[in-house]
Structure 1
Amino acid sequence: MKRIIITLLAFVSCKGFAQAAAINDTIVLSRTQAEALFLEKNIAIISEKLNIEIADAQVIQAKLWPNPTLTIGELNLWHNATAQEVPPLWGNFGKTSQVTAELEQLVQTAGKRKKMIAMEKVGVDIAKEYFKTFLRNLKIEFRGNLTDLQYTQAQEAVYKKQLSSMQTMLKGYGNQVTQGNIGRGEYIRLQASELQFLKEIADLRKENNSLQKELKVLMNLPPTSFVKLTDEGFVPENKNIENINLGNLMASAIENRPDMRVIKLGNDYNDHKYKYEKAMRTPDVTLGISYDRGASTMNDFVGLGFALDLPFFSRNQGNIKAAKLAIEQGKLLTQEKTISVQSEVLQAYQDLIVTKKLYDSVEANYESDLDKLLESYRKNFLQRNTSMLEYLDFVDAYLDNKSIVLNSKKDLNKNLEELRYISGQQIN
């Protein structure tokens, strides 16, 4: 029975390892490679691009002339004995047939067609800017996820290193406890620290799993893949931050941000719309040519004609007024958006400067000195020159400081990316 249980456990373990191997199809990427994959394969980006083609199709439609209208009427398909005969249409057919035919063509006046084309062309430009806005929003989300993943990977590596060191000490302490050289209280205290490290690692892995899900969707990767990022780009190039000209950033944001350009293009659209509505005051003309057989003083009558609305009651006053008010509304929205954008740039710039000062306050050799000092504490503890309380207190301080350093790098990356996003300008 015992042998059967061991065999089953071995089978389950092998199956579990096989499933883990299938799930963890690891893909190692740099930030640059990940973004290239994102831009190439993201389904939402591909879908959003189609809106530009849809807007282009509306321009094509606006350029087309209205179709002519052909009307056939008063056609009798039976013979009336009292009908007066007329010359046949062909052969012997049509001697007693009556028929009317009319061909009409709508002719738009006052340049309506040209004005409609101009409106639709602005619509194409707006669609392009909407796509840029969509891509801009998706990019900052994607880059933020990359930064978070690099951060969790680095944090997990720190805790794993401490866990490995703690487990090595626990193994040695376990032997000493068995031999009665060390009290069990110290051993339990080390086990408590080990458990804390395991919990921190578990929490980081859960966060990693959440980021994995988001990134795999954004890069259109198989669900079974596992993304591992290199350290490249976690600390961004930031040498020129002190040289940033705030005035230029604000001007760049107002000029280049897609959402700001959408507002401006909306104003252009309103201008064209106003011109179009004014043109609608002028009635369109419908030209026609008609043919009447057997119903007038002529056997075959051909006549010309035209039709147009008489603008006695409606001269499109309501739509013209609405279009004019839309222009005024657009100006107010532009003013509000301008103030909002400038305020956003200022806040993002100030946040970046604060983060940069914190990052710069960490000396270049601080992390390596911290690692060396931790190793020194560990050796002194093993040699009984340092108490367990002192050693564990330093480990806590070490982990806190490591977390502060990593957070300063992450925040610098995110704040710089935020300023790029807000200003619409690439800042190195």
Structure 2
Amino acid sequence: MPMKFLRALVCIQLWFAAAGSMLYAQSPANDTLKISISQAEDQFLKNNLQLIAQRYNIDIASAQIITARLFNNPNFSFSNGIYASEVPNAYHEQTFGLAQLFTTAGKRNKNIQLAKINVQQAQYQFFDLLRTLRYTLRSDFYNIYYQEQSAQVYTQAIQSLTKTLGAFKEQFAKGNIAEKEVLRIQSELYSLENEYNDLQTGIDTTQREFKMLIRATPTAYVVPQYNGDLTGTQLVTAVPYQRLLDSAYANRYDLKSARTQVDYDNLNLRLQKANAVPDLTFNVGYDRLAAYGNNFLGAGVSFDLPFFNRNQGNIRQARVNIDQSKTQLQLQQNQVENDVATQYKTALRLEQLANSFDPKFRQDFTRLIQGVYRNYQMRNISLLEFLDFYDSYKTNILQSNNLQYSRLNSLEQLNYVTGTQFFNQQ
């Protein structure tokens, strides 16, 4: 094989690696799962086991309201005589008693209100989990998509270099080319294979998490369907910062939960004070052969005398809980403010960076390789120079994909920290 033809073969194969048709790193299998972001969210809402398990907590808390509303059961007692000295037919002696406990100081209503707050807390925990998992789902979706885009570059280059290396080895065996050219191709191939393996490991890890979220078949290979283009758009700039912060105050369920905890502790203090008030027990009794007279019927009331235990410890603990929950609420508010401020700056910076790139740069860079190819044919540049240029091309593509993903992910993070789908890209 003449040297000129061999070099042309390298250029042609590398050119197809750089500008060839779009191929995924994972060849489609029978269980390939092509899915859009909206379809993924539908499956997530229907099938995610974490959400299903958390939703049961709402039902469990709701059942506690039923328990809190129930009145105490009356107490019935009966006794029958068995033996009494010098008294014949002692078994004729019978007594009956009926007692009913009545809570005082509004304890029942306070317990009902606490149970209702528990339901609210369970709901807030569910929606906060939903917020977190939805962010993970959407972030993983875009991450897989752009990682696959990057994997194409490696897949095409590895296929081309593998064929080229075989051809070079044949020519080296015939003495037509120097060993250093074979080693250079081989070194480039090994480097690409290692980089591709690291990338594929990351894809597999993200795929696993994504499939768990939508409860997909473990053997399925997810192929995200996304055709969005944010080039030149001003999404973050168009939304005022204060609007994002106000949305976070109104829609962050972890913040709502912290506020509700303060309400719960305030009400619990009132309940503990009410528990210091003794409850009343009313009773009615019947004694067939009482000492006072036959068929004795009596009534009475009983209650504890609050001389020693006035629920002092629980009242003090309830007051401390209020101080603690107020501190945690302030901490949560600070966390929300810092989350929104940080993510807003990040999203704004990434939007400006992405929009500063010429949208034609990637296409122009790809066309430029044709000129490099012609120069290589004319032996104006060496094989090493051509491979160095291709390495620059590869780096540019990877950085471009990373930037696009980072920009999308910053929008999802803004959605996450504000609790609102401001930037719901499809």
Distance of 1:221 and 1:125 partners within structure 2:
31
Cα distance change, pair 22–366 in 1 and its aligned pair in 2 (3 A): closer
Distance of 1:236 and 1:327 partners within structure 2:
50
Count of aligned residue pairs for this structure pair: 398
Distance of 2:191 and 2:28 partners within structure 1:
30
TM-score normalized by the length of structure 2: 0.86
Superposition map of 1:128-277 within 5 A: 128-170=123-165, 173=168, 177=172, 180-232=175-227, 239-277=234-272
2:284 equivalent to 1:289:
yes
Other structure's SS at 2:347 match: helix
Return structure 1 stretches of 4+ with deviation > 6 angstroms.
20-24
Write the letter of the residue equivalent to 1:397.
S
Preserved contact between residue 104 and residue 277 of structure 2 (Cα < 8 Å): yes
Determine the structure 2 residue equivalent to 1:317.
312
Other structure's SS at 1:241 match: coil
Determine the structure 2 residue equivalent to 1:361.
356
Determine the structure 2 residue equivalent to 1:392.
387
Cα distance change, pair 70–378 in 1 and its aligned pair in 2 (3 A): farther
Determine the structure 2 residue equivalent to 1:76.
81
> Structure 1 residue 121: deviation in Å?
0.4
The percent of aligned pairs where both chains have the same amino acid is 32
Render the CA deviation track for 1:135-184: whole Å, top value 9, x for unaligned. 22222222222222112211111112223343454465556546654333
Unmatched segments (≥5 aa) in structure 1: 1-19, 86-94
Cα distance change, pair 369–23 in 1 and its aligned pair in 2 (3 A): closer
2:58 equivalent to 1:63:
no
Preserved contact between residue 233 and residue 355 of structure 2 (Cα < 8 Å): no
Distance of 1:22 and 1:144 partners within structure 2:
23
Render the CA deviation track for 1:378-420: whole Å, top value 9, x for unaligned. 3443453421121111111111111111111111111111111
Write the letter of the residue equivalent to 2:225.
T
Preserved contact between residue 277 and residue 323 of structure 1 (Cα < 8 Å): yes
> Structure 1 residue 107: deviation in Å?
0.6
Determine the structure 1 residue equivalent to 2:9.
none
Cα distance change, pair 330–21 in 1 and its aligned pair in 2 (3 A): closer
> Structure 1 residue 234: deviation in Å?
8.3
Cα distance change, pair 179–380 in 1 and its aligned pair in 2 (3 A): farther
Cα distance change, pair 236–22 in 1 and its aligned pair in 2 (3 A): closer
Write the letter of the residue equivalent to 2:39.
Q
Write the letter of the residue equivalent to 2:114.
M
Q: Which has the higher contact order (CA 8 A, sep 6+)?
A: 2
Render the CA deviation track for 1:279-310: whole Å, top value 9, x for unaligned. 22321111111111223233222211111112
Determine the structure 2 residue equivalent to 1:92.
none
Determine the structure 1 residue equivalent to 2:46.
40
Preserved contact between residue 234 and residue 413 of structure 1 (Cα < 8 Å): no
2:42 equivalent to 1:29:
no
Write the letter of the residue equivalent to 2:398.
S
Distance of 1:230 and 1:397 partners within structure 2:
28
Cα distance change, pair 404–110 in 1 and its aligned pair in 2 (3 A): same
Unmatched segments (≥5 aa) in structure 2: 1-25
Write the letter of the residue equivalent to 2:54.
E
Query: Of residues 400, 405, 416 in structure 1, which corresponds to 2:411?
Result: 416
Preserved contact between residue 24 and residue 226 of structure 1 (Cα < 8 Å): no
Cα distance change, pair 365–56 in 1 and its aligned pair in 2 (3 A): same
TM-score normalized by the length of structure 1: 0.85
Query: Of residues 82, 94, 105 in structure 1, which corresponds to 2:100?
Result: 105
> Structure 1 residue 347: deviation in Å?
0.8
Bigger mean CA deviation after superposition, 380-389 or 130-139 = 380-389
Bigger mean CA deviation after superposition, 396-405 or 193-202 = 193-202
> Structure 1 residue 28: deviation in Å?
1.2
